[in-house]
Amino acid sequence: MFRLSLEPTDRYCDGVSRRSFLQIGMAGMGTLGLSDVLRARANAGQTAQKETSLILIWLDGGPSHMDTYDPKPKAPSEYRGIWNHIPTNVPGIDISEMFPLQAKLADQFSILRSVHHDAGDHFTAGHWMLTGRGGVNGAMKDQKYPFFGAIASKVVGPRNSGMPAVVGVPYSMSIGLRPGYFGGNYLGNEYNPFETGSDPNRDNFQVQNLNMAKGLTLDRLSDRRALTTHLDQARKQVDKSRLMEATDRFGQEAYELVTGAHAREAFDIQSESTEIRDRYGRTSWGQSALLARRLVEAGSTIVTCHFGGWDSHWDHQKRMEDYLPRVDQIVSGLLTDLKERGLNEKVMVVVCGEFGRTPKMNDGGNGGAPMSKGTPGRDHWGNALSVLVAGGGLKSGQVIGATNARGEHPIERPLRPGDLHHTLFHQLGVPADLSFVDHAGRPIPAIDHGAVIEELIA
C-alpha cells in the first residue's frame, strides 16, 4: 500500500476543515458482485462506439448561475446582479459579460439551465451532484454512495493500461472533505481517485503518488510482486473465484502505474510548450486543466479539477472578478486545445458546482452592526443551477431548459442530477442499469432516477 499524508484544506462557510490521506490499496474487493461487473465491462467494450473520457471542472462552493451562464437582464437590479449579459456566436444564447472568450465558442458547448435538486446544504448538494443521491447534510457528512466516476471506472477501467482510471488534480475534494463525495465508497478504496497531491503550476511539480515509499527500490518492488504472485497462485489452488483474477489485475495495474514510463510522461506538464501553458493561464487552476487534458489524452477515463472558493455570501463582486475571468480563460483554452488536437469528439468537458446561488443578492451581512461582514453577496440555492457540457460526441450550440424571469426555479425541461449522470454514462459506454452491493449486502442501482438527456445525443 502506498500512502501520502496531505495538508489541511481550506475552510467553508460552516467552518469545516479536514486532514486526510490518499491510499492505494486492496480494501473493498469483496463488496461487489464481480462477475456482473466483469460482464458489464465486456458489454460496455462491445457497445461503446467511442472510448470517451471526461474532464470535470468542479467549482467547489457553488457558483452563481445568474452571474455565469443564466443571466437575467430584465430582472430587478437586486436579482440581475452586477454584470451585464453579452451575445455569443450562437444567435439567441447570451452569457455573462465576464465570459467573453467562451462567448466566441458557444457553438462548441451546450448549457443546461434547469438542473436542480432543491438542496441548500453544501454537503447534501455536493452528494446529489456527485453521487446522484441525497441523504447527507452538515451534521452527517459521511459519503453514502459512490461517485458516479468511480462507478464508470469500475466498469470500463482506464482507456489505456498504465494510467489511473480516475484522477483528481491537484486533489479530489468536495466541501472540505477529501476525497469526499469523489470516493469509491462501497465499491472499494481502489476506486478512490488517484491524486497528484501537488500544484501543477509549481516549477518543481512532481506527482508524489508515483514515488515509492522510502527504501523501496524497483528491484525490491519487483521481488515483492513476485512473492505476491507466488502466494496468489498458491491460493488459486483452493480458490478458483474470479475475485482473485480481479485482484491480480488490480495488482498488475498498480505495479505498471508506479514502475512504468507511460504515466510519468503523462504527468510531465513541463514538457508542454510555453504557448500552451500560457493559453490556460499560469495559475493552479489553469495548469490543473492542462494536466487534465494530458491525462485523458494518455488514457485516463475521468479527471476532476478542483476549483474551490465559490461560497460568496459577501464580497461577491471582488471574488467573482477574480474567479470568473480565470474560468473563462480555462474553459476557452481547454475547448480550443481539445479541438486542435482532434480530441473534442473523444473528451467530454463538464463545468459545475454543487448548487447555484440565491437569485436575490443579500446585503453582505449588513443588517446591523456588529454583524456586518462585507459588501453584498449571494447565498446557497439548490433550486436552480447551470451546467456547461461539451465534447465527447454531445450536441453543442444549444441551451436546454430555462428558469423563470428571476432565476428562481426551472420552468422548462427541469433536470436532476440523475439525468446528467445517465447522459455521461451513455457517452462513456457504461450501462446505467447496473446494481452494486453496499456495505449491508443490499443491491443498489447505479442511478435511481432520471434518463439520458436526448437533446444532447448526436
Q: What percent of the chain clears pLDDT 90, i.e. is strictly above it?
A: 72
Question: What type of residue sits at position 175?
Answer: I
Query: Do 199 and 170 contact (CB within 8 A), yes or no?
Result: yes
Burial class (CB in 10 A: 0-12, 13-18, 19+), 250: middle
pLDDT beyond 80 at 302: yes
What local confidence, expressed as pLDDT, does residue 36 receive? 52
Q: Is 334 helix (H, G, I), strand (E, B) or coil?
A: helix
Higher pLDDT, 399 or 245: 399
Higher pLDDT, 373 or 204: 204
- All residues at 6 or more sequence positions from 11 whose CB lies less than 8 Å from its CB, including other chains: 17, 176
- All residues at 6 or more sequence positions from 94 whose CB lies less than 8 Å from its CB, including other chains: 71, 73, 85, 86, 87, 88
Number of CB atoms found within 10 A of residue 18's CB: 16
What are the tens digits of pLDDT across the range 18-39? Answer: 333 223 333 333 333 444 555 5
Give the residue extent of every domain in the chain. Answer: 2-215+242-456
Total-model pTM: 0.85
What local confidence, expressed as pLDDT, does residue 26 receive? 30
- CA distance linking residue 23 with residue 32, whole number of Å: 20
What are the tens digits of pLDDT across the range 340-394? Answer: 999 999 999 999 999 999 999 999 876 544 455 789 999 999 999 999 999 999 9
Confidence of residue 228 (pLDDT cuts 50, 70, 90): low
Weakest-pLDDT range from 3-12, 92-101, 266-275, 276-285: 3-12
What is the signed CA dihedral for 427, 429, 433, 435, rounded to 10 degrees?
A: -120
- All residues at 6 or more sequence positions from 211 whose CB lies less than 8 Å from its CB, including other chains: none
What are the tens digits of pLDDT across the range 121-160? Answer: 999 999 999 999 999 999 999 999 999 999 999 999 999 9
| Bridge partner list, 387 | 112
What local confidence, expressed as pLDDT, does residue 262 receive? 84
Grid cell of 134 as nine digits: 441525497
With respect to CATH, is domain 2-215+242-456 assigned 3.40.720?
A: yes
What local confidence, expressed as pLDDT, does residue 259 receive? 60
- CA distance linking residue 379 with residue 412, whole number of Å: 24
In the numeric block, the cell 489485475 is attached to: 249
Cis peptide bond upstream of 325, omega within 30: no
Confidence of residue 3 (pLDDT cuts 50, 70, 90): very low
By DSSP bridging, strand 443-445 and strand 435-437 are antiparallel
Grid cell of 19 as nine digits: 486532514
Instruction: Count how many Cα atoms sit within 13 Å of the Cα of residue 353 in the half-sphere of its side chain.
Output: 29
- CA distance linking residue 105 with residue 111, whole number of Å: 12
Burial class (CB in 10 A: 0-12, 13-18, 19+), 441: exposed
Grid cell of 184 as nine digits: 469509491
What local confidence, expressed as pLDDT, does residue 235 receive? 52
Report in angstroms the alpha-carbon separations of 16 from 21, 192, 295. 17, 21, 31
Q: What is the mean pLDDT of residues 234-261?
A: 55
Question: What type of residue sits at position 169?
Answer: V
pLDDT beyond 90 at 288: yes
